[in-house]
Structure 1
Amino acid sequence: MTITEAQRKVAVAHADPMGCGIASVFALAGLDIVYDLAPLEVSHAKQNCHAVFLELAVARVVTQSQVATAEGRVRSVKSIAELSEAALAIETIVKSVDARQSLYFALEGVLSETVILAFSTSGIVPEALSEHLRRQGRFLVAHFWDAPHIIPLVEVVPAPRIEHDTVAATMEWLTAANCKPVLLSKAVFGFIGNRLQFCGAARSSTHASRRYCRRAHRRRSHEAITRTTLPMVGPLEGADIGGLETFLAIGSQLLPHLASSDQGLDVLRRLVSEKHGGRRDGRASTHEMWNATSA
């Protein structure tokens, strides 16, 4: 995809650690990024983006010159109205369905009718959020993995009334940003990647991907997870990085579709009740989970 001048601006709402990672991916690919932020979060968001760029520079994935250029493409704003020039908007808030629908209503009020609105989630199917949108044909899931600057997989899940060119443009956009987009033909709880994470069994993951992906995307999904994610980040590490409360919420929705019991979440429930949040809160919990599951 050749990015035109009109398509260069991408909006990210909201600039949490996941949003910063997504913004960094697009900025390194040459797109201009704008954030919707609360005033007190501006400096924190810039620090998060700088940390991502620095991590890639230390690993020699990018040069210091590329870092300086990418950081210049990232701009923070304090009002949703300032996102109006975006051609692609990605929402990353970890909130309830009602809160997300309120955000979408506000975004529809400022974005043009041709803008693609994507939300990054692995726990909510798109039809649960698109019902009250005025432009349902421009709405879909783009599920980025944490951390998006390391794991290139993005699961793309169309809403029921999606327009064909919305899907095609999103896939091209993500490819241009050096991501590995995988198109699901049908929404299913947990999509493909989290079913791999929670099942942990090749037979279960193959069954899921055969039902919900075309062959080419099935292969890409399996490779992206097994080659870039699971060798480095298993379910416990993934929960620690992404946040224990978030992982528990996803697991509580997903496991009833995969197993006869959700007993495997007991360790997470205990840690969450003890206020363990994971690495995002500065309190890594992988060792506690390993000790509890090995006891």
Structure 2
Amino acid sequence: MKIEDIKKIGIAGAGTMGSGIAQIFARKGYEVVMTDISEEFLEKSKKLVSIFNSSLIEEGLMTESEIENTIKNISYSTDKRVFSDTDVIIEAIIEKMDIKQDFWREVEEIAKSDAIFATNTSGLSITGISKKIKNKSRFIGMHFWNPPHIIPLVEIIRGDGTEDKTVDTLVELVKRIDKEPVVVQKDAPGFIGNRIQFAVFREALNIVEEGIATFEDVDRAMKYGPGFRYPIIGPLQTADLGGLDTFYYISSYLFNELSDVKEPQEVLKKLMDNNELGVKSKKGFYDYSDGKDEEAIKRRDKMFFKMLKYIHNA
């Protein structure tokens, strides 16, 4: 499949991620067909797409005419056979290996022989997901980050059987929808972003559990220290600019002090046991009762949009 031949995108899974991915491609003029197991889920997807469109309008990142075309470019179905003429199929269904494997085995019997297969898994093995399909050369990971209509990053992940031309085509496709592609050359759990994110998360929990600082100050330290740098230069260029000798000497004594636990820490286990799951349960590290959950999401997205505008204008 050549990049010029890609006209129609199939998306399986009408949740937040699938709906956001559909909105992105439809906005860029691609014909998109969305599937899920029930009409109820598809109706929710239509509402999500509308919310994403509205937020982009409010931020001046999208025009009214673009909304009309975006909505027109998306169709919805509960029948996987609509994938028979799609050029790229992106799967964003439940994060369970066996369900994903069975989905792709079924879709391979329906799809065109040259269609590209992409899974939006957050960290499952790409090679593992492709186990039940015959042509593994066209199978690849394509991990969007939440919220997908805002966050620029898309990780392109090789499976053991993925061909170079499949990687190259998807990298170009990601650029054409104004996202930032990175290529994960080895099928490693968590890919790039989540490996970094959870290394930070583990140490953040360790700092709280060891009594070094409160969770509020851990967040503040990240936001106004390393997190302030990373959108501009990233951790490795930060080391270049700070001096690799300095980072080497600090590493020689600090690495030994950092957490290397292999199981979730007690501070996280207690929250789980109390069903304090964050925004979804109105309480986690922070309190999200009395509308604070919606306020937190709105503020997050507002700040993300500011970052996005900065990146576009930089």
Establish whether residue 9 from structure 1 lines up as the match of residue 8 from structure 2: yes
How far is the alpha carbon of 1:122 from its aligned partner?
Answer: 2.4
How far is the alpha carbon of 1:154 from its aligned partner?
Answer: 0.7
Q: Match of 1:227?
A: 231
Give the TM-score normalised by the residue count of structure 2: 0.68
How far is the alpha carbon of 1:131 from its aligned partner?
Answer: 2.2
The alpha-carbon distance between structure 1 residues 91 and 284, as it changes in their structure 2 partners (threshold 3 A), is: farther
Q: Is the 8 A contact 1:152 1:180 kept in 2?
A: yes
Give the TM-score normalised by the residue count of structure 1: 0.73
Question: How do 1:70-85 residues align onto structure 2 when only pairs under 5 Å count?
Answer: 70-85=70-85
How far is the alpha carbon of 1:132 from its aligned partner?
Answer: 2.2
How far is the alpha carbon of 1:259 from its aligned partner?
Answer: 5.1
Classify the secondary structure of the residue corresponding to 1:146.
Answer: coil
Amino acid at match of 2:63: T
Q: Is the 8 A contact 1:35 1:83 kept in 2?
A: no
The alpha-carbon distance between structure 1 residues 64 and 165, as it changes in their structure 2 partners (threshold 3 A), is: same
Q: Is the 8 A contact 1:157 1:183 kept in 2?
A: yes
| In 1, Cα distance between equivalents of 2:276 and 2:79 | 32
Establish whether residue 130 from structure 1 lines up as the match of residue 93 from structure 2: no
**How many residues are treated as equivalent by the alignment?**
236
The alpha-carbon distance between structure 1 residues 102 and 183, as it changes in their structure 2 partners (threshold 3 A), is: same
Q: Can you list the C-alpha shifts for 1:36-60, whole angstroms capped at 9, x where unaligned?
A: 1222212111001111111111111
Q: Match of 1:52?
A: 52
Amino acid at match of 1:174: V
| In 1, Cα distance between equivalents of 2:93 and 2:59 | 29
| In 2, Cα distance between equivalents of 1:273 and 1:49 | 34
| In 2, Cα distance between equivalents of 1:17 and 1:183 | 24
The alpha-carbon distance between structure 1 residues 102 and 277, as it changes in their structure 2 partners (threshold 3 A), is: farther
Classify the secondary structure of the residue corresponding to 2:194.
Answer: helix
Identity among equivalent positions (%) equals 27
| In 1, Cα distance between equivalents of 2:30 and 2:80 | 19
How far is the alpha carbon of 1:270 from its aligned partner?
Answer: 3.8
The alpha-carbon distance between structure 1 residues 133 and 227, as it changes in their structure 2 partners (threshold 3 A), is: same
Q: Match of 1:212?
A: none
Q: Can you list the C-alpha shifts for 1:118-146, whole angstroms capped at 9, x where unaligned?
A: 10122212111122211100101111101
| In 2, Cα distance between equivalents of 1:77 and 1:286 | 39
| In 2, Cα distance between equivalents of 1:151 and 1:269 | 29
Classify the secondary structure of the residue corresponding to 1:110.
Answer: coil
Classify the secondary structure of the residue corresponding to 1:24.
Answer: helix
5+ long unaligned stretches in structure 1: 202-222, 231-257, 290-295
RMSD: 2.7
Classify the secondary structure of the residue corresponding to 2:155.
Answer: strand
Q: Match of 2:18?
A: 19
The alpha-carbon distance between structure 1 residues 276 and 114, as it changes in their structure 2 partners (threshold 3 A), is: farther
Classify the secondary structure of the residue corresponding to 1:287.
Answer: coil
How far is the alpha carbon of 1:274 from its aligned partner?
Answer: 4.1
Question: How do 1:195-214 residues align onto structure 2 when only pairs under 5 Å count?
Answer: 195-200=195-200
Q: Is the 8 A contact 2:102 2:132 kept in 1?
A: no
Amino acid at match of 2:71: E
| In 1, Cα distance between equivalents of 2:272 and 2:62 | 37
Q: Match of 2:222?
A: none
Q: Is the 8 A contact 2:3 2:172 kept in 1?
A: no
Q: Can you list the C-alpha shifts for 1:197-223, whole angstroms capped at 9, x where unaligned?
A: 12239xxxxxxxxxxxxxxxxxxxxx9
The alpha-carbon distance between structure 1 residues 45 and 140, as it changes in their structure 2 partners (threshold 3 A), is: same
Establish whether residue 194 from structure 1 lines up as the match of residue 198 from structure 2: no
| In 2, Cα distance between equivalents of 1:22 and 1:108 | 21
Amino acid at match of 2:27: L
Q: Can you list the C-alpha shifts for 1:214-237, whole angstroms capped at 9, x where unaligned?
A: xxxxxxxxx9x9328x9xxxxxxx
Question: How do 1:1-295 residues align onto structure 2 when only pairs under 5 Å count?
Answer: 4=4, 6-37=5-36, 38-200=38-200, 226-227=230-231, 260-262=260-262, 264-276=264-276, 278-279=278-279, 281=280, 283=282, 285=284, 287-288=286-287
| In 2, Cα distance between equivalents of 1:132 and 1:263 | 31
Amino acid at match of 1:73: N
How far is the alpha carbon of 1:283 from its aligned partner?
Answer: 4.1
How far is the alpha carbon of 1:178 from its aligned partner?
Answer: 0.8
Amino acid at match of 1:72: K
Q: Name which one, 1 or 2, has greater alpha-carbon Rg.
A: 2
The alpha-carbon distance between structure 1 residues 162 and 80, as it changes in their structure 2 partners (threshold 3 A), is: same
The alpha-carbon distance between structure 1 residues 270 and 33, as it changes in their structure 2 partners (threshold 3 A), is: farther
